[in-house]
A and B are shown apart, each in its own frame.
Chain A
Amino acid sequence: MTVERRETQAAPAANGWTGRLKREKAGREAVDVGRVRLLVAGGLFALLFVALGARLVELSLFPGEGERKEPRQIAQSQAARPGERGQITDRNGLLLATNLTTASLFARPRQMIDVEEAIRKLAEALPDLKPDYLRERLSGERNFVWLKRHLTPRQQQAVNALGLPGVGFQADQTRVYPQGALVAHAVGFTDIDNKGLTGAEKYFDAALIGAEYAAPRNVALAIDLRVQHALRDELLRAVETFDALGAAGIVLDIATGEALAMVSLPDFDPQRHARIDGEALFNRVTLGVYEMGSTFKTFTTAMALHYGTVDMRGGYDASAPLRYASFTIKDDHAKNRWLSVPEIYVHSSNIGSARMALDVGLKRHREFLGALGMLEAPRFELPEIGQPLVPKPWREISTITIAFGHGLAVSPLQLASGVAAVAGGGTYVAPTLLKREVDKPIASRRVVSPEVSQQMRQLMRMVVEQGTGKKAGADGYAVGGKTGTAEKVGRGGYQRKALLSSFVGAFPIEEPRYVVLAMIDEPKGNKQTYGFATAGWTAAPVVSRVVTRIAPMLGVAPSELTPAAPARGPVVNVSTGDRRGATF
């Protein structure tokens, strides 16, 4: 280039030469510009590619935080298996309701070659399908018919082996209740399309199914399967022993309001719910409302102590029956004298309780029972909730009768949570069927002072030590409670023979943690009870045995109030057939 330039400078400027030179110069400049542009563009692209490469290396060598989190999160959360109804478990995660994949058998009649042969073979493979039913389903011009839902693997195998054309299987989900009748009323059941019909299955249907934007969730109930079994086992025995119509029982955690156990007898196997009568479906704990009888004196006494109309040293005259209008109130265990407050409670005096409530007054009586949740249906996570039967208008006679548990019908659940409030420190906690989350504050409202609650605990302990509830005394565990024997309403008023015997107790009574309620419907006395069917003979022993069984499970230490009987000699192995009699 330098040579050329020298030439151009050296050569004399001729017109033709200069023109050519100018043009060449312009061309060279254009090429230079082009080169620079190319370089710039090339450099840019190179940079971008380097960036892409760097990102590629980064992604493959250092997996970012965001990419891997998801699967682990799903595994840990409460989400149900995708595309399935959520499971129901007890508080310890034991399965109460789950799903199994089954096959459902369908047919396409149009594609069938020999319908008669198919009917014969199918009826042979599945004996519960009658040939007439099959003929009715398979005849006609239908494109698709269900033949049988939810086949067992064995049945599916049998049908598959037939090799029939026009017959097929569709994967299906069926709801399974591994615990059978044990938690039947709490869990409930679903229909054939897995839609909740009763119990928790219905109440939590939306959560279990999930919605468009919400995945199906598993539900953990407050029920503790071990406690549930102990309660059901003992109630079943009581029903059998006393030839009763039914029974109900509940165990409540006082601090949290959780229902650890809830049993209503007779019960049913939710797997075969199509074949049960309404009596077994009826939930006596939450749906049934009953005049609970003397157990209500717990509330009457607590109320009188709360409003200060009488103190523990005070008392009332119970020497003569109380007459009001056409009613005469009498005592079952009549002492016919002046009774102190503890005596009224321990000997379950109707007259004394009625006078106690009259002293407090109608308005305050109703208010107090309202604060204990007796006057309205409790908020409980079941669709089967009974509305209490409250007298309207509330007259003087209502207060008199309700003082000893007649004239106001409440569900056993309400009674148990009311007693939990009175005995457990004086605050009312709404009962719940759902397992409480740890660290979540529990809503409660104060009903009576801790001092009144302490006095009530003393009274409840006295009932077990020297009153009507002696048989509720559990060996080694201090139980306090109250018996209640109500006459059921029948034709022509109250029936003397049809009783509703109940016992509601709290333990350990020094500082109650659990409330246990047992109620037996129309027990009949037998030789062991000397013909008595009252609560002290029928319901109280149930509570005693339930407490001895569940206290070790729940981590309740044996009480100093009732030192356990010292071991007498070597422990004899009681193993002659019926071990149930050896439970202590």
Chain B
Amino acid sequence: MIRPLTLVALGLTGVVAYGVYHLKHEVLGLEDTLARLNREVEREREAIHVLEAEWAYLNRPAGLQAMADRFLVLQPVGARQIVQIDDIPARRAATPDRWKTVPLPRPKPHLSAFESGAPAGRTP
């Protein structure tokens, strides 16, 4: 004779067994995902590594200097361009109104050549 308690116990066993099976299945799936993600991370890391090497190569100072000479209208900072904070005259209390109507300076000729796309080194 099967008592109700046994029935309940059997039923519970079944439920738990299914639960465990389901859990295991899920874990297997997750493990697959994890392995795949890890592989992807490794691939990305490798790619970053290669890009870092390329970045370092493209940023060689000699190469940058050659390109700066060719395309930029910049020059090394001279000592006269550096001043101490104390050398700057004190700021005026307020900007007079008439200053606000002063027109903006004209664009500098050598800069306009650069902005129109022509290499700076070729301007006459």
A: residues with CB less than 8 A from B are 81, 94-95, 98-101, 176, 178-180, 182, 225-226, 228-229, 233, 474-477, 548-549, 551-552, 557-558, 564-567, 573-577, 579-580, 582-584
Contact = CB atoms under 8 A, between A and B. Distances in A.
A575 B121 contact: yes
A128 B97 CA distance: 76
Contacts, number: 88
B46 A101 contact: yes
Interface of B: 45-46, 49-50, 52-54, 56-57, 59-62, 65, 69, 73, 75-80, 82, 84, 110, 120-121, 123
Contacts of B76: 548-549, 552, 583-584
Nearest to A96: B56
A476 B56 CA distance: 32
B65 A573 contact: no
Contacts of B120: 573, 575
A565 B78 CA distance: 10
B3 to A, nearest CB: 17
The residue among B54, B69, B80, B110 with the most chain A CB atoms within 10 A of its own CB is B80
B73 A573 contact: yes
Given A575-B120, A580-B69, A94 B46 contact: no
A575 B52 contact: no
B121 A476 contact: no
B79 A558 contact: yes
Nearest to B57: A178
Which 10 A-B pairs rank lowest in CB-CB distance, beginning with the nearest? Answer: A476-B79, A229-B61, A178-B56, A564-B80, A95-B56, A558-B79, A178-B57, A579-B69, A564-B79, A573-B110
Given A101-B46, A182-B61, A233-B65, A577 B78 contact: no
Given A226-B61, A580-B69, 9 more contacts: A178-B57, A229-B62, A233-B65, A552-B76, A552-B77, A552-B82, A573-B120, A575-B120, A584-B75
A178 B79 contact: no
A137 B45 CA distance: 36
9 contacts: A98-B53, A98-B56, A179-B56, A179-B60, A225-B61, A548-B79, A552-B76, A564-B80, A574-B75
Nearest to A577: B121
A81 B69 CA distance: 37
A564 B50 contact: no
A420 to B, nearest CB: 23
Contact of A176 (B53, B59, B80): B53
Nearest to B66: A579
A476 B52 contact: no
A481 to B, nearest CB: 18
Contacts of B62: 180, 182, 229, 233
A251 to B, nearest CB: 14
A576 B122 CA distance: 7
A475 B79 contact: yes
The residue among A100, A475, A548, A575 with the most chain B CB atoms within 10 A of its own CB is A575
Contacts of B49: 81, 98-100
